[in-house]
């Protein structure tokens, strides 16, 4: 390297006082120290009237975990593990009871669903399916955008919406490059990427497979009330929201980002070449497809009798028996942090319930709405919808489910309706990249600005809330889900 190159990027000298520099670099530790001191001071106080000591300690732990979940100072999974260690240490529950709660059926269902999605992605089956559908149905700009949107939604019925977004992002990025669309001003490029994001978000709430939020909420329901949802019952409750959102969503997308191209032939030709290069469908892909179809059938028709987690585990075993996946490949696809986060969240929620803390908060938090159960559903669903834009949807469920479960108990509501009121809106994050990984993935394309996501996102969220309220009022009672 020539000596002159050392001066191409001159060093920046920080001329601030030393205490300012140290304060900035240790800000994270300062916040954690303040939080620890504050929680210690609160633990030294007497519990409020009507709240047991164990419940008071559970409430303090819950407040601390909520702050850590929202701030993101430490990873979500680590916060959940901290909660599990703190519950017995603080005398809220016994050690054996605490760690037994982690081994929840929902955790193993989530693990099995992740492995199945990893097999579809790793075998190339999902990519083959995406290219085949886009080539066959996307011959015009409008049809291509609509196909991307519907494909994103429908694949999210059977796979994690995050995995679907990542897979289709690569496919759409290749189409955009072949069409030579400029990132700065191409409305059609924005439309294609937004179609991925919105399709994944809408389709992701339709079944247990679109995201782990639904199994997490149902796991908490099972622990708290001994009630459950079958695979079909959940889907039937979600479809009255999902189907109209799919229609309205694409209409709004096309109004905000009207196509500014007249032909997508180059993109279709590119996909056709890639499809030919993949060759005929392999035996590995056929086996994965067969196992996936049988698993979905098992969940739909035998989920209640056999258990969703049992079916998921058997499907996972079948993948390894037929040698279509390896454990090394699975380790690369499965987010183990998510598994830990959900197990810890279920444990903390159970601690709040068993200690009486959640009931105490419900009595004092929304007691003024006790005369109108539907108003309670409207408020808590709106709260879930707003919070999910700022924090992880799993954290939203971990925060709201303990309160909602005890609130429905005091008002005589169906706890399954309360579960839907929290879990379904928590998946409908349309506005911000941090709301869901699907949004973050499409935002990383460079085609979109924050404002271009927020404005249409707020509109579709409002319609999503209206569809939710209409379903809760008109449709769910026909299914036996009465407020």
List C-alpha distances in Å: 372 to 185, 443, 483. 49, 40, 10
Phi-psi region of 213 (alpha: psi -120 to 50; beta: other; left: phi over 0): alpha
Give the dihedral sign, CA 231/146/195/116.
positive
Which residue has better confidence, 70 or 367?
A: 70
How do residues 355-380 score in pLDDT, each as one tens digit? 888 777 766 766 555 567 888 899 88
How do residues 293-306 score in pLDDT, each as one tens digit? 898 888 878 877 88
CB 409 within 8 A of CB 477: no
* Domain contains 195: yes
* Domain contains 33: no
Residue 386 has pLDDT above 90, yes or no: no
* Domain contains 84: no
Q: Report the pLDDT value the prediction gives residue 197, as an integer from 0 to 100.
A: 92
Read off the pTM: 0.75
* Domain contains 119: yes
For every residue of 139-156, DSSP letters joined together read: -SHHHHHHHHHHHHHHHH
The residue count of the chain comes to 483
Q: Which range marks the domain in which residue 141 is found?
A: 102-479
- Residue 213, φ and ψ in degrees, nearest 5: -65, -40
Buried b (16+ CB within 10 A) or exposed e, 344-361: bbbbbbbbbbbbbbbbbb
Helix, strand or coil for residue 212? coil
* Domain contains 217: yes
* Domain contains 15: no
How do residues 178-224 score in pLDDT, each as one tens digit? 888 887 778 999 999 999 999 999 999 999 888 778 888 888 888 87
* Domain contains 372: yes
CB 329 within 8 A of CB 257: no
Which residue has better confidence, 10 or 459?
A: 459
End-to-end, the C-alpha distance of the chain in Å comes to 73
- The total domain count for the chain is 1
* Domain contains 419: yes
H or E element in which residue 239 lies: helix 231-256
Residue 230 has pLDDT above 50, yes or no: yes
How do residues 399-453 score in pLDDT, each as one tens digit? 788 878 877 777 778 889 999 999 999 989 898 776 777 887 788 788 888 888 8
Predicted confidence band of residue 381 (pLDDT cuts 50, 70, 90): very high
How do residues 76-130 score in pLDDT, each as one tens digit? 788 888 988 999 999 998 988 888 877 777 778 778 877 887 888 788 888 888 8
């Amino acid at each position: 390297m020539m000596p002159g190159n050392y001066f191409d990027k001159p060093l920046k000298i920080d001329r601030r006082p030393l205490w300012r520099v140290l304060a900035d670099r240790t800000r994270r530790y300062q916040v954690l120290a303040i939080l620890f001191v504050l929680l210690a001071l609160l633990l030294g106080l007497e519990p409020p009237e009507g709240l047991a000591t164990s419940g008071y300690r559970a409430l303090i732990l819950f407040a601390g975990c909520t702050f850590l979940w929202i701030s993101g100072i430490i990873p979500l999974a680590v916060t959940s593990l901290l909660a599990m260690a703190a519950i017995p240490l603080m005398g809220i529950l016994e050690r054996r009871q605490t760690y037994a709660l982690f081994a929840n059926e929902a955790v193993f269902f989530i693990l099995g669903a992740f492995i199945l999605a990893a097999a579809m992605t790793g075998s190339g089956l999902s990519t083959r399916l995406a290219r085949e559908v886009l080539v066959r149905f996307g011959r015009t700009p409008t049809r291509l955008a609509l196909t991307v949107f519907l494909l994103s939604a429908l694949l999210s019925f059977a796979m994690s919406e995050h995995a679907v977004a990542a897979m289709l992002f690569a496919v759409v990025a290749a189409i955009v490059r072949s069409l030579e669309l400029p990132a700065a001003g191409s409305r059609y490029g924005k439309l294609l990427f937004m179609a991925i994001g919105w399709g994944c978000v809408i389709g992701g709430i339709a079944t247990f497979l679109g995201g782990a939020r639904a199994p997490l909420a149902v796991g908490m329901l099972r622990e708290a009330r001994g009630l459950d949802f079958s695979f079909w019952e959940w889907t039937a409750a979600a479809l009255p929201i999902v189907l109209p959102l799919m229609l309205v969503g694409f209409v709004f997308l096309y109004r905000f980002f009207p196509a500014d191209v007249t032909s997508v032939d180059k993109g279709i030709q590119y996909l056709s070449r890639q499809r030919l290069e993949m060759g005929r469908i392999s035996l590995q892909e056929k086996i994965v497809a067969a196992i996936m179809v049988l698993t979905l059938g098992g969940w739909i028709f035998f989920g209640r009798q056999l258990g969703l987690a049992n079916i998921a585990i058997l499907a996972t075993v079948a993948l390894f028996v037929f040698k279509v996946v390896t454990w090394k490949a699975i380790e690369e696809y499965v987010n183990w942090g998510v598994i830990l986060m959900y197990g810890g969240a279920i444990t903390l929620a159970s601690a709040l319930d068993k200690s009486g803390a959640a009931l105490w908060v419900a009595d004092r938090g929304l007691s003024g709405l006790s005369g109108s159960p539907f108003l309670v559903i409207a408020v808590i669903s709106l709260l879930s919808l707003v919070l999910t834009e700022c924090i992880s949807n799993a954290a939203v469920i971990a925060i709201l489910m303990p309160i909602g479960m005890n609130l429905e108990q005091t008002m005589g509501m169906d706890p399954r309706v309360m579960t839907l009121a929290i879990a379904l809106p928590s998946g409908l994050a349309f506005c911000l990249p941090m709301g869901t990984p699907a949004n973050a993935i499409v935002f990383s394309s460079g085609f979109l600005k924050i404002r271009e996501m927020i404005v249409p996102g707020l509109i579709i969220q409002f319609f999503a809330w209206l569809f939710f309220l209409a379903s809760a009022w008109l449709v769910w009672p026909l299914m036996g889900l009465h407020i």
